[in-house]
């Protein structure tokens, strides 16, 4: 009997220990489960949308993020164009020799200002001497033929001479007169004074090379002793009194460009950020052969004398004006042809959530940019007006960027 009582005592003790262990394990599992849930609640879940970023109030303040909405402003649309400062064709002279010859003297240097009719160089050639000789001989022959024609007229009146001789004398006189006038015109083209040659009969050995316009010498391509041909450009002279812009506008933008539109431009590689103005006065009516561009000409406003022909310019043709949505430059992130802005979409655990939105942006004007949203956003949408670069950096961190 005592042995059975001991067995019952041992079995009871084992049952009590098993019950305690089971209870402790269940309690431990409950504690672990509760602890895991608390840990998950403590760490905020990052936004699932790759275009969203979450920041804390401290980060917002440190980054200087300010919120606002779109503004409506009158903004001009613009056409980008490149070109150069040029002068009209009548203000650009290429001086050549009428007849080939040898350069005797050169009287100017590149950059020098010359007046209209000034002598740039002198040329000499035996042809010049021969031409003057032919003129004097032709002049003497015309005098003789005039006297002979008068004799034949007298004889014809007295019915002594033959009609044929009178007719021949008249033809010879007219022919020689034409030759004399042609030789005199050639001498004038060379710059030789026919009046001085008539008065003195003195033949000169050299001729002047003159400029028909006033301006600045651009190029001097000759030196003493050099032989030049009529097709050679010896000196170039530019008159800068009528500088204008010559721009190249692409085919897709030509329809927007009209006479009278304002142009803002800068001189490239000039070391200055000054923005100058011009106004369109001529739009070309044909495309260039090499590129699908049309030439647009514009007068400077006001006229400038400190620019040089040939300087390259980057221009913006202001084609129209409209009341559009705008944001400050600090609100946009440039990304190639597209740009991005940030919209505040809500909060999670005290943190603000911002979403990246794609837009088309125009050129900045006075610190503001006209934007076109690729989607639909009301004018009252809460947007980041300052601090967009901080949000973009945080978003790139979430994407695994630098």
Confirm if 105 and 224 have CB atoms less than 8 A apart.
Answer: yes
Burial zone of 158 (CB within 10 Å; 0-12 exposed, 13-18 middle, 19+ buried)? exposed
Q: What is the largest CA-CA distance in the chain?
A: 198
Report phi then psi at 93, rounded to 5: -120, 130
Question: Which residue, among 310, 311, 309, has the nearest Cα to 241 in the 3D structure?
Answer: 309
Beta bridge partners of 72: 325
Does the domain made of 79-89+239-321 have the CATH classification 2.40.30.170?
yes
Residue 302: asked if its preceding bond is cis (omega within 30°), the reply is: yes
Residue 251, pLDDT > 90, answer no
- Whole-angstrom CA distances from 280 to 91, 137, 261, 304, 317 are 20, 58, 5, 16, 9
Residue 104 pLDDT > 80: yes
With a cut of 70, say whether residue 11 has pLDDT above it. Answer: no
| pTM, full prediction | 0.56
Mean pLDDT score, 82-90: 90
Q: Could you tell me which residue, 88 or 20, shows the higher pLDDT? A: 88
Provide the pLDDT for residue 162: 72
CATH level 3 topology of 52-74+322-398 = 2.40.420
Q: Measure the CA dihedral 88/94/95/100, to 10°.
A: -150
* Residue scoring higher pLDDT (380 or 2): 380
* Residue ranges covered by each domain of the chain: 52-74+322-398, 79-89+239-321, 90-238
Are residues 267 and 307 in contact, defined by beta-carbon separation less than 8 angstroms? yes
Q: Distance (Å, rounded) from C-alpha 399 to C-alpha 393?
A: 10
Domain 90-238 belongs in CATH node 3.30.70.141:
no
Tell me if 326 sits within 8 A of 368, measured CB to CB: yes
- Give me the pLDDT at residue 97, please: 92
95 contacts 119 by C-beta, under 8 angstroms: no
Residues 41-77 have pLDDT tens digits of 444 455 567 788 888 999 988 989 999 999 888 777 7
Q: How many CA atoms lie within 13 A of 167 on its CB side?
A: 3
Measuring CA to CA, which residue among 114, 97, 103, 87 is closest to residue 211? 114
């Amino acid at each position: 009997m005592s042995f059975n009582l001991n067995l019952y005592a041992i079995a009871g003790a084992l049952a009590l220990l098993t019950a305690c262990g089971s209870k402790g394990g269940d309690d431990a599992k409950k504690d672990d489960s509760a602890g895991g849930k608390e840990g998950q609640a403590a760490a905020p879940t990052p936004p699932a949308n790759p275009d969203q970023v979450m920041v804390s109030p401290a980060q917002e303040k440190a980054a200087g993020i300010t919120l606002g909405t779109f503004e409506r402003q009158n903004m001009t649309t613009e056409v980008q164009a490149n070109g150069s400062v040029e002068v009209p064709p009548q203000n650009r002279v290429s001086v050549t020799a009428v007849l080939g010859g040898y350069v005797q003297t050169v009287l100017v240097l590149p950059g020098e200002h010359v007046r209209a009719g000034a002598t740039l160089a002198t040329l000499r050639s035996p042809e010049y001497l021969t031409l003057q000789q032919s003129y004097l001989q032709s002049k003497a022959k015309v005098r003789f033929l005039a006297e002979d024609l008068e004799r034949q007229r007298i004889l014809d009146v007295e019915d002594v001479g033959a009609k044929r001789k009178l007719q021949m004398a008249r033809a010879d006189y007219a022919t020689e007169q034409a030759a004399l006038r042609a030789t005199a015109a050639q001498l004038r083209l060379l710059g030789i004074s026919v009046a001085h040659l008539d008065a003195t009969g003195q033949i000169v050995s050299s001729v002047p090379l003159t400029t028909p316009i006033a301006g600045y010498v651009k190029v001097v391509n000759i030196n003493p002793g050099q032989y030049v041909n009529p097709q050679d450009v010896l000196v170039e002279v530019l008159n800068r009194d009528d500088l204008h812009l010559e721009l190249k506008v692409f085919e897709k933008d030509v329809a927007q460009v009209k006479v009278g539109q304002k142009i803002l431009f800068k001189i490239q590689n000039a070391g200055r950020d000054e923005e100058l103005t011009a106004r369109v006065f001529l739009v070309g009516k044909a495309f260039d052969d090499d590129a699908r561009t049309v030439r647009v000409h514009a007068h400077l406003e006001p006229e400038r004398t400190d620019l040089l022909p040939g300087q390259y310019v980057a221009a913006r043709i202001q084609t129209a004006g409209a009341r559009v949505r705008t944001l400050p430059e600090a609100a946009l992130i440039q990304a190639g042809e597209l740009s991005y802005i940030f919209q505040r979409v809500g909060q999670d655990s005290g943190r603000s959530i911002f979403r990246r939105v794609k837009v088309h942006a125009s050129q900045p004007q006075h610190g503001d940019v006209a934007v076109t949203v690729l989607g639909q956003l009301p004018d009252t949408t809460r947007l980041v007006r300052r601090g967009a670069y901080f949000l973009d950096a945080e978003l790139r961190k979430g994407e695994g960027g630098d």
